[in-house]
Amino acid sequence: MNPFNPNFGKVPQLFLDRNQIVNEYISELDSNLDSPLQTSVIYGVRGSGKTSLLTDISNQLRQKGHWIVIDLTTNQDLIPTLTYNLYQEATSKFEQLIGKLKSIKVSGVEFQLKNDVPQSIQYQMMLKQILNQLAEKQIKVLVTLDEVKATKEVREFASLYQLLIRENLPIALIMTGLPENISELQNNSVLTFLLRSNRIELSPLSHEAVIKAFAEKFNEGNRQVANPILHRLTLLTRGYAYAFQLLGYLVWKNSAAGDVINDQLIDRLLPEYQLALSRNAYTKIYQDLSYQDREFVRAMANSTDDKVKMKYIGEQMEKPSNYIANYRQRLLDSQLIRVAGYGYVSFTLPLFKDFVQWYAQYDDAGF
């Protein structure tokens, strides 16, 4: 069985540099709901493993008898969905635990709400009743929200959530999002409480962890791989979580027990590797950039060097240093580039320079 899994959102068998994050989060939140982890934000570039991390946390907490986990997505009407799902989970898992809540009438999948009372107030009352009774039984609730954005529904939900935690009700929240979306959230006047939330940054996987995982798994699969090849494979991932799973998957799939993994095999797989990176991650990443951000990365890609001088980028864009510095910071925050020495930057993602050069042709042609 292939030990590598490049599918988005799945918890991979090889969860490098992430298990410690999951274990520490669950241990602290489980022992003390009032800890700084009560409201947490996982952020990182697309493909860094945010949803996989969220899924792992959800799955592990669900196995504990004193937790209820409610998974939400931003395309839902969050407050009614949370209220209904929490009611269903509690009544199902704990039988008559909240059976005395006579104000809630469930018909199919809808609540019977009173016409003379605003729905927002009724849902708020319902949630408080449910959470208060769960608290009596020492049962806690974790709400997960994947790929959060500053939408009207999120703002309404955040306002209610703040009210619930101010009343010391047993509820916690963990969200995932792209760095630029998290910044937008924290700059919203309704969502400023997120500035005080615990932030979990998914930085690149360590070189040591990647090379060790490749060596161990290929050895377990009776595939022979020399140290220079392990080093090349590791460099081809640049610590990008999706790239690690994808490249490992392709190498395993295209080799068999007893085979030698060599440069010829890697060379043969490179086009498929690049195509999958482009199709499944890079195209969306690039398309979400502003026009100025694209100009910056295109200027970087024009350089023959991996470490690009800021002065060179300014010359390519024909813009002053203060203008360039603004977009440099934006791209650093988005984790698409990194500081590569004083006055230098480089791309964080593997083969992203090649992708930008390729995609720029279609940009210029108006596609």
Residue 109 has pLDDT above 60, yes or no: no
In whole angstroms, give the CA distance from residue 157 to residue 151. Answer: 10
In whole angstroms, give the CA distance from residue 254 to residue 145. Answer: 37
In whole angstroms, give the CA distance from residue 236 to residue 250. Answer: 13
The DSSP string of 154-192 is HHHHHHHHHHHHHTT-SEEEEEEE-HHHHHHHHTSGGGG
The letter for the amino acid at 174 is I
pLDDT value of residue 137: 86
In whole angstroms, give the CA distance from residue 214 to residue 210. Answer: 6
The number of beta carbons lying within 10 Å of the beta carbon of residue 70 is: 19
In whole angstroms, give the CA distance from residue 176 to residue 149. Answer: 9
* pLDDT (average), residues 289-308: 95
pLDDT value of residue 97: 47
In whole angstroms, give the CA distance from residue 325 to residue 334. Answer: 14
* pLDDT (average), residues 344-364: 91
pTM of the model: 0.86
The letter for the amino acid at 251 is V
Closest CA to 213 of 176, 180, 239: 239
pLDDT value of residue 96: 46
Residue 118 has pLDDT above 70, yes or no: no
* pLDDT (average), residues 257-264: 96
pLDDT value of residue 102: 45
Residue 10 has pLDDT above 50, yes or no: yes
Higher pLDDT, 186 or 257: 257
- Per the prediction, the chain carries an average pLDDT of 87
Helix (H) or strand (E) segment spanning residue 77: none
The tokens describing 322, both together, are 């203060």
Could you give the percent of the chain with pLDDT greater than 70? Answer: 88
Residue 302 has pLDDT above 90, yes or no: yes
State which of 40-49, 136-145, 259-268 shows the largest mean pLDDT. 259-268
Q: For residue 26, what pLDDT band results from cuts at 50, 70 and 90?
A: very high
pLDDT value of residue 318: 94
Residue 347 has pLDDT above 60, yes or no: yes
Q: Where are the alpha helices (DSSP H) in 19-136?
A: 19-31, 50-62, 78-93, 119-136
pLDDT value of residue 136: 87
The DSSP string of 199-214 is EEE-PPPPHHHHHHHH
pLDDT value of residue 151: 85
Least confident of 75-79, 102-106, 129-133: 102-106
